[in-house]
Amino acid sequence: MEKPRIDRPVIVEGRYDKIKLDSIFDADVFTTDGFGIFNQKEKMALFARLAEERGILVLTDADGAGRLIRSRISGCLPRERVTHLYTPAIEGKEKRKSAPSRAGLLGVEGMEKERLLAIFAPYFTDASRTERKEPITKAELYADGLSGARGSAARRAALAREMGLPSEMSANSLLAAINLLYGRDAYRRVLQTVLSRGANSAE
């Protein structure tokens, strides 16, 4: 069954939240790294660019930490470009955890698929009717030495810095950001600049 496509980038707290959404939706999902968003200026700058370009959806856990993260995003970005989505406060714990969170509530990763489908349903788009430029693929990142090769992390960091993106982004997150904000031509141009500067050193 084809995954529903979400019409704008989604911001969640951590990697397990991202993994959960990626398993259900065709979406561009980025993480705040929990409270990392409070001291990672590059990451907030990325969220600002995503918000300006497409608008963003924010889904955090239904606890105090989630509220603080939402407040941080709302305080830094234009409110009209940020849409907050909410999970219900359900007691329980995720299967991978040995004990519940401090608040004793399920986080985004612990939500049932049907509940998440209902939360995001207003933001589904028919991908076949949406004009999307041919995306850069993970295979291309690999072929260009940006993933799975010696020195790939250093080259990814150099490319990200040149594009004004967070330098610590994973290959998947970098790929999503490039496809959303730049496209193939800009990617090729910046990559050549990076490689010409000798960003081929080993990690």
Mean residue pLDDT of the chain comes to 87
Domains in the chain, start-ordered, CATH in brackets?
5-129 (3.40.1360.10), 138-196 (no CATH)
201: left (phi over 0), alpha (psi -120 to 50) or beta: beta
Position 200 scores a pLDDT of 46
Question: What percent of the chain is modeled with pLDDT above 70?
Answer: 93
Q: How far apart are CA 56 and CA 8, in angstroms?
A: 6
SS3 142: helix
Which of these ranges, 19-23, 124-128, 178-182, has the smallest mean pLDDT?
A: 124-128
- Give the model confidence (pLDDT) of 133-171 as tens digits: 678 999 999 999 999 888 899 999 999 988 888 888 888
Position 191 scores a pLDDT of 92
- Give the model confidence (pLDDT) of 54-84 as tens digits: 899 999 998 899 999 999 999 999 999 999 9
Q: If you average pLDDT over residues 109-121, what whole number do you get? A: 93
User: What is the crossing angle of helices 41-54 and 64-76, to 10°?
Assistant: 70
Q: How far apart are CA 137 and CA 111, in angstroms?
A: 30
Q: How many residues does the chain have?
A: 203
Global confidence as pTM: 0.79
Q: How far apart are CA 130 and CA 171, in angstroms?
A: 25
Question: What percent of the chain is modeled with pLDDT above 90?
Answer: 54
Residue 203's pLDDT band (cuts 50, 70, 90): very low
Position 14 scores a pLDDT of 93
Statement: residue 132 has pLDDT above 70: no
**25-to-1, 4, 83, 121 alpha-carbon distances in Å:** 11, 5, 18, 11
Position 18 scores a pLDDT of 95
**Would you tell me how many other CB atoms lie within 10 Å of the CB of residue 171?**
16
Position 133 scores a pLDDT of 65
